[in-house]
Amino acid sequence: MLPSSPPRPSSKTVLALATAAVWSLAAGGFVFWVLHMPKSDAVTVGAPLVTAQQPNDPMGAFMAKALGQAATAAVSTPAPSSTAYKLMGVIASGSGQGSALIAADGQPAKAYRVGQTVQDDWTLFSLTGRQAHLKSPTAELLLELPAPTQP
């Protein structure tokens, strides 16, 4: 009796298996990186705010107008009163990301993530365990959770 050896794969079979292995690795790498992408909304940082300064002396304003500078009216967003916004709850990570429940102008509270606009020009800038920091182009506001009541 002759010793038998296992059948040898053909070159087409080896090529098909190698191709399948390469494509499997590529698909696995793609899935890995997609699952590890950051899920938080990126906060975009704009250019610094530059405002035209109005001269303090009336003669300077007259000279600026005479030399062709357009008159600009000072526009400012009034800071909301402390009762306009009420912080109802915070879920924050150590990096300042997360979400906050904020009631605006007596309306029911809504959840806002860091970077989202709360109302008008006010944006939720950052969070801590008991505070929410709101910013507008001209002002800042710090909201705090009410002190916990002792039973």
C-alpha 14 chain-centroid distance? 50
Which domain CATH number covers 114?
2.30.30
Q: Residue 21 has what pLDDT?
A: 95
Q: Residue 11 has what pLDDT?
A: 86
Domain hosting 100: range is 85-144
Residue 66 domain-assigned?
no
Residue 136 domain-assigned?
yes
**pLDDT tens readout for residues 56-98:** 556 666 666 666 665 554 444 445 554 588 888 888 777 767 8
Q: What is the DSSP letter of 37?
A: S
Q: Residue 23 has what pLDDT?
A: 95
Q: Residue 103 has what pLDDT?
A: 87
Residue 124 domain-assigned?
yes
**pLDDT tens readout for residues 21-46:** 999 999 998 888 888 776 554 444 44
Q: Residue 16 has what pLDDT?
A: 93
Q: Specify the number of domains making up the chain.
A: 1
Q: Give the chain's mean pLDDT.
A: 75
Residue 64 domain-assigned?
no
3 state SS for 78-100 = CCCCCCCEEEEEEEECCCCCEEE
Q: How far is CA 109 from CA 20, 87, 91, 100, 120, in A?
A: 53, 8, 14, 9, 16
Residue that has been written with the tokens 């912080």 in this structure: 87
Residue 112 domain-assigned?
yes
Residue 61 domain-assigned?
no
